[in-house]
A and B are shown apart, each in its own frame.
Chain A
């Protein structure tokens, strides 16, 4: 399966995503304080936490969509002095919360516009990773169901030939069947060698992906552990309720 998806280039696909001392502020409020994390290629790191803990702010800060201080590295390349679009061009894929597909464009156009922004050849064929989109190519993205839009959002990020991918609550509002499918896709991304940074509310996704876990609480790191750790559910429960 892997060999079908990877292009002729055997070069390593993923890069190390490293964040140091991230601080994200909105107006007078500090949403994230002194956050550091590292995601290695071929692994998945899950960012868990209650609503308002700062998960989305963290991703937006790393991605450049929110004003932030602190260092962000993709391998050796520093990203934090670049605009959001330049970070994407440098290889930081970002699947936003709420998908944000281009509703007036067709599925094919969504993929095409993403592929056009990178000078790297795409190592992974998005449609091989997400074949369910093949029959939807000419449909306007606004007419897709929530689950289909989620698939498209992921495919679109992959089309941009990223080295690391950040996904914000990809299972939000999906039926259990689609949640499983999404987990499959995330595992696929990880196995292909991408560094995957995942924000989730659902514990099980982190557990079943065997991800490293960082638990956020009120904008700072409360716990770091493995997804397979048996303590995880109780720890998360406790942070949600405090």
Chain B
């Protein structure tokens, strides 16, 4: 087991060294999806021309391409969005049958019928995925299983259309409606190859788009995603839709490849086959679906002489994979996101330390009035009132169980208050969803950093979208602060290869700095920090304090929950002490140690 770890670790560092060694422009070209797509088409057609499209090898190659299209789609649903779909075979079947029936009975041209198959797949996917908001992983998986059973039924039942158990034959390409079928044997192979290349390109671009980044963020850490204003629901529906669309497209291509289809080809086992392809190759990776498909088409063909062994091997592969290497062959989930750092690095340097350009305003930005929150009859917050002004740093302290984190959670919208009012810049935010609250300029870090394990540093930064109405000086200061935090955490923003490392490989301290940098780079109006110093060394804490000061000096309001009283007394303008859900005391930090009630409650010194 450790050997597998060491091997993949060695492979990773070798990959990194190789990437560092190649010059940047060449690296960009080599990793561009369009280049890979053209390569795929080129290689496929080259092989086909030497083997011949009607040869056995040619058929296998085209079958691989067709399955790759469906596998790429499933990778979007299950890999990128983390939604286990057992229905990929159903969408494949729908595409296959739609194509077959329209071509055979109504003489549709290939381009129109494939397009319609995609649309049908999109609709089916959207329908399967639309309950995603209420269903967990298991629920969605079971829904997709139900879909497989229903579609399987329908294929047999609608005999008049689908030909029942006899299937449909006569699936040949045409250029136009009702025209003669094309003679050339090269049309179908070309169509298959080109569509495979296009699908690869779509799959890669989906991942690097904002939708794709949001999808992966929600998969890895839904709470962290919502704290950045990213809502999970739409990403899942979109992933299901696109995934099924590609499956249906693959099904359509399959019809043309085979010339004849019947329900036998679309058993639930097909869905499972697609799943194994994706999981074996590496769920969520860029090349995984292709490698998985090739392995799971070629190898079982060698075992064709031994009945039953094929299928048993699929099953065993799944079981063994889950125990030994659940992430599959290509375990890299992060995708390029150069725009993440580009804007940050372009920010001109600012004089440090910043002079207080914006004096702490007297008008409150965040105002809590008698906020209550109870859980099952127990008051976690029993009426808390406090205000925070722009540019002010407020420290929130108190013993364990005093309600500090609950307060942050209520402000951010994870729990609606059971009483009282919360106002942000004069507007009530109590009871709003976390994504909405985040969208209004509230940024937050958590006690355990909620970073995204499958995303790289640059992706984390790309996720943060700065508000358009920010004061440019403030925006600049925040961006500089974010860069400083990255450097403090040992995550050199100038090292183009290091910033592509997945956050999975980073230490706890580094994740703290990454989370904070990402939160600040969005130039929030108010920053809530939940025990940011825990686990950091004295020098790291010092650096953190500097950055927080700079950010506040630029006009951002800061609330910092902490146990490190020394850090609190150095950094904050005002301290609020919570105990058993209410405010025990509030005042300047230097007076803290003199207050008797605070000493007793907090430090337990009698």
Contacts and interface: CB of A to CB of B under 8 A. Distances in A.
Interface range for A: 20 to 34
A203 B534 contact: no
A172 B531 contact: no
Contact of A172 (B400, B507, B566): B400
B400 A201 contact: yes
A7 interface: no
Nearest to A207: B606
B508 interface: yes
Interface residues of B, number: 21
Given A172-B401, A201-B399, A51 B534 contact: yes
A52 interface: yes
B603 A29 contact: no
A205 B505 CA distance: 40
Nearest to A146: B378
Contacts of B563: 50-51, 240
Contacts of B566: 241-242
Interface string A18-37: 00000000001100000000
Given A203-B603, A204-B604, A241-B566, A173 B508 contact: no
A202 interface: yes
A217 to B, nearest CB: 11
A193 B605 CA distance: 28
Contact of B604 (A146, A173, A202, A218): A202
Interface string B208-228: 000000000000000000000
Contacts of A172: 400-401
A15 B506 CA distance: 41
B467 interface: no
Contacts of A218: 535, 537
A173 B401 contact: yes
A203 B507 contact: no
A52 B606 contact: no
A173 B603 contact: no
B605 A29 contact: no
B565 A241 contact: yes
B356 interface: no
A140 to B, nearest CB: 13
A28 B507 contact: yes
A233 B507 contact: no
A212 interface: no
A112 interface: no
Nearest to A54: B535
Contacts of B564: 50, 240-241
Interface string A206-242: 0000000000001000000000000001000100111
Given A29-B535, A218-B535, 14 more contacts: A28-B508, A29-B508, A50-B564, A51-B400, A51-B531, A52-B534, A52-B535, A146-B378, A172-B400, A173-B400, A201-B400, A204-B605, A240-B565, A241-B566
Interface of B: 378, 399-401, 505-508, 531, 534-535, 537-538, 563-566, 603-606
22 contacts: A28-B506, A28-B507, A29-B508, A29-B535, A51-B400, A51-B534, A51-B563, A52-B535, A172-B401, A201-B399, A203-B603, A203-B604, A204-B605, A205-B604, A218-B535, A218-B537, A233-B605, A240-B563, A240-B564, A241-B564, A241-B566, A242-B538
Ordered nearest first, which 9 A-B pairs have the shortest CB separation? A173-B401, A202-B604, A241-B566, A52-B534, A29-B508, A204-B604, A52-B535, A203-B604, A51-B563
